[in-house]
Amino acid sequence: MANPVVSREIRLASRPTGWPTAENFTLAEVELPELAPDQVLVRNTLMSVDPYMRGRMDDRPSYVPPFQLGQPLDGGAIGEVVASTADAVPVGTTVLHSFGWREQVVLPAKRVQPVDTDAAPASSYLGALGMPGLTAYVGLTRIAAMQEGDVVFVSGAAGAVGSLVGQIAKRRGAARVIGSAGTAEKVRHLTEDLGYDAAFCYKDGPVLDQLRQAAPEGIDVYFDNVGGEHLDAAIESLNTFGRVAVCGLISQYNDPNPEPAVRTPWHLVAKRLSIRGFIVSDHNDLREAFLDEVAPWVRDGSLVSAETVVDGGVQAAPQAFLDLMRGANTGKMLVRF
């Protein structure tokens, strides 16, 4: 790079207490270093905001280190290589990497993954063919061990993961798929666009009552993205030997004093239930099987991959994240540069 490249990035200014706010983020400029051998300069074109990022804003032990104060956040992103000293990743290559929240970034070539935008849209590598898709696949097939003929309930069903869980479950022979969401429009989206057999708005009444109405004979699998009242209702409704895949607990992420996760533990024994949390990165051995099964559905357009795209570049990312936490998205929430 003949002249220094200046990039803007979003840094964590302070740790949230309860719900995050715009004051927890700051926009900064940074001068990027010259490329060393086998490095690339990537200009980001899309970045992802995801619920798991809220946990990384707290300074506590977890499965991944917390974001550091005064340092840029990170997360999934798609970008174009605009300078390269790596023969394997030439200029013009579209790549997937984990350094979002920045306009541009210098990375070792081994830290980026070239993607085929002729086979699928670039955004799908952050959604249906990326982390959300693999999460849905792992949770449904390995963690919950869904079988043909099962009745499946999905909370947060209009989100990036939940919207894919229901569609995969239908294709794998679920007898009935039920989803919950936060607005009437999202409920309509579940049944009319995604093929859910039934759906309800959890704000319209007790979750247990609405779930019993949608599944009068009970459920066999619960894919949990929400926790709280949803998890309690699912445990009440699960049939004997029911299985729960706990992917997320977004209803409790911003609560400094969350209620106990399970209020009716006697059902665990009486019904012989299995409840298992999971982190998708522990199951990368399923990636090839996932792509073999799901990629054809993405290519032929039969798998609906809804997106909520926020324009405005890196400076729009904090508000996009805040909106995500309030449920403003349908499907994958992306920021476009």
Q: Using alpha carbons only, give the angle 190, 192, 198 rounded to the nearest 5 degrees.
A: 55
The two structure tokens encoding residue 233: 């209702």
pLDDT at 62: 87
- With a cut of 80, say whether residue 48 has pLDDT above it: yes
pLDDT grade for 260, boundaries at 50, 70 and 90: low
Interatomic CA distance for residues 131 and 291, integer angstroms: 11
pLDDT at 267: 85
- Structural domains in the chain, sorted by start: 5-127+305-336 (3.90.180.10), 131-281 (3.40.50.720)
* Amino acid identity at 4: P
3-state DSSP assignment of residue 287: helix
Give the tens place of pLDDT for each residue, 302-331.
999 999 999 999 999 999 999 999 999 999
Give the start-end residues of each E strand in the chain. Answer: 5-12, 25-32, 39-48, 77-84, 94-97, 104-108, 113-114, 151-154, 176-181, 198-201, 219-224, 238-246, 274-277, 307-311, 332-336
Give the tens place of pLDDT for each residue, 167-206.
999 999 999 999 999 999 999 999 999 999 999 999 999 9
Q: Is the pTM of this model over 0.85?
A: yes
Is residue 255 within 8 A of residue 18, CB to CB? The reply is yes
pLDDT at 261: 62
Task: Tell me what the pLDDT averaged over the chain comes to.
Answer: 95
Task: Classify the phi-psi angles of 151: left when phi > 0, otherwise alpha if psi is within -120 to 50, otherwise beta.
Answer: beta
pLDDT at 189: 98
pLDDT at 2: 58
Give the tens place of pLDDT for each residue, 95-153.
999 999 999 999 999 999 999 999 999 999 999 999 999 999 999 999 999 999 999 99
pLDDT at 140: 98
Interatomic CA distance for residues 26 and 318, integer angstroms: 9
